[in-house]
Structure 1
Amino acid sequence: MSDPESSPQIGQFVLITKGREAGKYAIVVKILDDRFVLIADGEKRKFHSPKKKNIHHLEFFDCVSPEVQNSILETGRVTNGKLRYAISRFVNEQVTDLRKGDN
């Protein structure tokens, strides 16, 4: 799932692997440079105060939320509710896929 050669995209789902919030899911809301991104989850990390993270401390998924990506690219912002909804939907799909793989 994680490909170090590909660059992160706005709206891409990530799993935080290092730090206090390890094990939580978030979405990339801004790319600062080739090493750092800003992430938000709509709950603890709101869109107006995202967390700056090193890309080596994140696991990137191939999935991008089109609603979040379009909102940020068109208006420059996204609602926290949309972030929460996209993450909850993504996590539910991921958990379902993982459970199917265990059987």
Structure 2
Amino acid sequence: MSNQNFLPQVGQLVRIVQGRDSGQFALVVKILDERFVVLADGDKRKFDRPKKKNIHHLEFFDYVSPEVQNSIMETGRVTNSKLRFALLNFVNEHVTDLKKGELN
């Protein structure tokens, strides 16, 4: 997905491409400006101590977790268990499908 003229959404799933956490998945919990977002995964990066990342260091997926998005919009926060649940669902459904497709 091209980062030009692209606006990330709260609750959107990303894969970190550069940095210490490269290869890991996380969810956007806040958009700071057109260049930076704040990420959390509910495990290593809790909601209370998220990671600020440049959007050019991320791979964005076309998946937005409705549970995470609704929780943040309604209350301004989300539980770490909800973040872990959303990540686990995505990884179980989509990442295993990608790996199966690569093998054929």
TM bucket normalised to smaller: over 0.9
Tell me the alpha carbon deviations over residues 32-83 of structure 1, each in whole angstroms, 9 at most, x when there is no partner. 0000000000001000110000000000001100000000000000000000
Could you tell me which residue of structure 1 aligns to residue 95 of structure 2?
95
Q: Which runs of 4+ in 1 moved over 2 A?
A: none
* 2:32 counterpart letter in structure 1: L
TM-score (norm 1): 0.95
Could you tell me which residue of structure 2 aligns to residue 43 of structure 1?
43
Could you tell me which residue of structure 2 aligns to residue 55 of structure 1?
55
* Gapped regions of structure 2 (runs ≥ 5): none
**Alpha-carbon offset, residue 93 of structure 1:** 1.2
Could you tell me which residue of structure 2 aligns to residue 34 of structure 1?
34
* 2:16 counterpart letter in structure 1: I
Tell me the distance in 1 between the aligned counterparts of 2:80 and 2:18: 23
Could you tell me which residue of structure 1 aligns to residue 2 of structure 2?
3
Tell me the distance in 2 between the aligned counterparts of 1:99 and 1:59: 17
Q: SS at the partner of 1:34?
A: coil
**Match status 1:12 vs 2:22:** no
Aligned pair count reads 102
Q: SS at the partner of 1:62?
A: strand
**Among the aligned pairs, what percent are the same residue?**
69
